[in-house]
Structure 1
Amino acid sequence: MSTGGGLIRRLSVAVAAALLVSPVLASPAAAHGAVSDPPARQYGCYTRWASEWQSPRMATEDPMCYKAWQADPSAMWNWNGLLRDGVGGDYQTAVPDGQLCSGGLTFNGRYAAMDEPGPWKTVDKPNRFTLNLLDGSSHGADFIRVYVTKQGFDPLTQRLKWSDLELVTETGRMPTGTTTPVQVYAPGRTGHHIVFTLWQASHLDQSYYFCSDVNFTGGGNPSPSPSPSPSPSASPSPSPSPSPSPSPSPSPSSSPSPSPSPSQSPSSDPGLGCSATYRVVSQWPGGFQAEVRVVAGSRAINGWKVGWTFAGDEKVSSAWNATLMTSGSTVDARNLGYNGALGAGTGTTFGLLGTGTSGTPTLTCTAS
């Protein structure tokens, strides 16, 4: 496909540039958040294509995500950073009609592609369902408002306006937690609709805006709150997560496509505890993405801790599916609430982004 090479080059440059211009992030590495079910547009694009962002299949199988990756790949790497600071409750002024899904073109338009109408991937939902919000940094909420488009709105051709929405759920103050479930009832709707979530965080005057695409099938009772999809406590974003910075403008003069590395570094035999394996997913000038797989031993475990020391100049800039503490070249990773309990022989993964050139450190894994 003629556009494949161009997309890869643009993504590689954006990833490298994001790492080069991003500020040093405080430890522990952390996320902000997003709606994981039904998935917000940028979160869905990330979870479906983060490991295959070079694949030409995206253009035909998921054209709206393909366009979004072309427009600004940092929107997906920063899936948990679609926010505005200091709005003071005046949401409709800060986020005007036609820009709801991008949070009013926040961060210099990083998420602008989220506003585009078209055949976004949908998930089937009954009219009564449970929405799940990932709160990776435990911000809590002053409130969460859930709106749904009115019957007759066409997500294929129309940009979202406030007048297209009906407020169907508003919570009170919500405690901090990795996953926050919200019960939603949107009667009288069928087919493709947008679920728009406004999350007012409690830790600061910071508001988040998410568009999720659903296909209403009618009826239904709220389903049990699922564990979050493999993604998040901290954002997989080369420039990102903990506190997204504006879309990077400078880019290196040359940046080859990230290339996967097969090298892995296992911890010792899990026995009755756990083992962990470190894998470099991709590498680019000035940065890398890595994945750690944790596997329980011959008995179930309730939690885990993985540690290692980098041998070179590597620094972790963000992480997801684990809480990371760093001290110099030493890294300590601990499970989140939803992925600590593992059955005998079963595993989970967490990911991280960093600066420098990653080696393959020796890991230790301790179960609890």
Structure 2
Amino acid sequence: MVLRILAVAMAGAVALTVALVVTQDTAGAHGSTINPASRNYGCWKRWGNDFQNPNMATQDPMCWQAWQADPNAMWNWNGLYREGVAGDHQGHVPSGQLCSAGQTGGVRYAALDNPGNWQATNVSNNFNVTVHDQALHGADYFLIYVTRQGFNPLTQRLGWSNLELVKETGRYAPGAGTRETGDPVLGGVSNTIAISAPGRTGRHIVYVIWKASHSDQNYYWCSDVNFPGGGSNPTPTVTPTRTPTPTPTATPTRTPTATPTRTPVPTTPADGPRSCSATYTVTGNWSGGFQADVRVTAGSAAISGWTVTWTFASGQAVSSTWGANITSSGSSVTARNVDYNGSLGAGGSTTFGFVGSQTGSNPVPTLSCAAV
């Protein structure tokens, strides 16, 4: 009986500890763009109650890779901020890392920087941006940018040169705004800001900076939108196209059911001045499927293109891809660079990935890499 009481007490202590861990970040960070939804707020709204559903991999692939990388980026959708910026946003948030606020908090939000088919909100060229102030901080200002025509968020990481400042607001007093009563998770106040972005068609990113008034706390949010005239908003089932930079920051990946299997297998560079190598990492496993990333690295000389080949040994098959043109013939797979990642400087690298199916074991294949 005594042992049982001790066990119950220990279980309660563990539960309390878990609760404190989950709520710690949320208690200290308070806000997001809610319309058009920021990338992580949108993923949390759509999948927060079902984030282990493997159907997300095909229905909402960019949210899938973000949940795999770090679920805390969605649970803490209101914590995407940096402190101590002193107004120098470009100095503290590098190009290519704008959606993760310069990888604030380590790599927690890094997957938000990946380009691809994020679900986008249809807007007109005159539209509203609604930001939510959950803790009634108020604002010294909001800076709202829209990407320039010609930028492609399906294939490009967001940089400062891709943005045009379309709105700079004045001060909002703490508590100013419309109280949110329909969604108890929000609970604070929202402010709606009118935006005009003429000349845009198709896919774009709205980038919002919120300088909270209570301290030097600065929030950064990427929201994907679709302007008229550039085709309809792509459906969630379209295969994403991600474009890592030549030397991207590695993003840790978590599976919904098990710890990822990471087994890099280096290849032997080809002979000659132009060579490359490739490593293959299984970054997620679930019943009937898996996700893998492949890193291609140039040898001692620059290359203008690459081809990676391998043979699956246990009936695996590729179902959707990004960052490479992949073809299969039986168990043999060939991956060729796409336009934006074929040219690599000496020692430079890029990555591509895919979602695949499996029926049993999922051994890591041996890769060969040929460069031109």
Q: If the length of structure 1 is used for normalisation, what is the TM-score? A: 0.53
* Alignment correspondent of 2:43: 45
Give the deviation of 1:24 after TM superposition.
Answer: 7.8
Q: Which residue is 1:184 aligned to?
A: 195
Write the letter of the residue equivalent to 1:143: Y
Cα distance change of structure 1 residues 37 and 188 upon mapping to structure 2, 3 Å threshold: same
Name the structure 2 match of 1:151: 149
Residue 212 of structure 2 is aligned to residue 201 of structure 1:
yes
8 Å CA contact 1:30–1:136 kept in 2: the answer is no
SS class of match (1:45): helix
Q: Relative to 1, partners in 2 of residues 1:190 and 1:67: Cα closer, same or farther, differing over 3 Å?
A: same
Matched positions, count: 207
Shift of 1:19: 3.2
**Is the alpha carbon distance of 1:23 and 1:52 closer, same or farther for their aligned partners in structure 2, counting shifts above 3 Å?**
closer
Task: Compute the displacement of 1:59 (Å).
Answer: 0.5
- Pick 1 or 2: higher relative contact order, CA cutoff 8 A, min separation 6: 1
Match of 1:89 in 2: 87
CA distance 1:88–1:30, shift in 2 (3 Å): closer
**What do you get for the CA RMSD once the two structures are aligned?**
2.9
Q: Secondary structure at the match of 1:44?
A: helix
**1:197-244 deviation line (CA, Å, top 9, x unaligned):** 0000001100000000000127xxxxxxxxxxxxxxxxxxxxxxxxxx
1:255-294 equivalences under 5 Å are: none
Asked if the contact 2:28/2:79 (under 8 Å) is kept, the reply is no
Structure 1 residue 17: Cα displacement: 12
| Corresponding residue for residue 79 of structure 1 | 77
Of 166, 169, 172 in structure 2, the residue corresponding to residue 171 of structure 1 is: 169
Based on CA coordinates, which of the two structures has the bigger radius of gyration? Answer: 2
Shift of the alpha carbon at 1:22? Answer: 2.9
Unaligned runs of 5+ in 2: 1-14, 178-188, 230-251, 260-372
After the TM superposition, which segments of 4 or more aligned residues of structure 1 sit over 4 Å from their partners? Answer: 23-26, 28-31
Aligned partners of 2:146, 2:61: CA distance in 1, in Å?
23
Query: What's the counterpart of residue 286 of structure 2?
Result: none
- For 1:117, give the aligned amino acid: P
Any idea what the Cα deviations from partners look like across 1:251-273, whole Å, max 9, x if unmatched?
9xx999xxxxxxxxxxxxxxxxx
Q: Which residue of 2 aligns with 1:56?
A: 54
* Structure 2 CA distance for partners of 1:30 and 1:103, relative to 1, 3 Å: closer
Q: Distance in 2 between matches of 1:68 and 1:17?
A: 27
Closer, same or farther in 2 for the Cα pair 1:171/1:106, shift >3 Å? same
Q: Aligned equivalents of 1:103 and 1:170: distance in 2?
A: 19
Q: Name the structure 1 match of 2:5.
A: none
Q: Secondary structure at the match of 1:113?
A: helix
**Unmatched tracts of structure 1, length 5 or more:** 1-15, 219-248, 257-368
With the length of structure 2 as denominator, give the TM-score of the two structures. 0.52
Matched, 1:19 2:30: no
Residue identity in the other structure for 1:151: Q
Distance in 2 (CA, whole Å) between partners of 1:110 and 1:184 is: 30
Q: Is the 8 A contact 2:123 2:227 kept in 1?
A: yes
Q: Give the Cα–Cα distance (whole angstroms) in 2 for the partners of residues 143 and 47 of structure 1.
A: 26
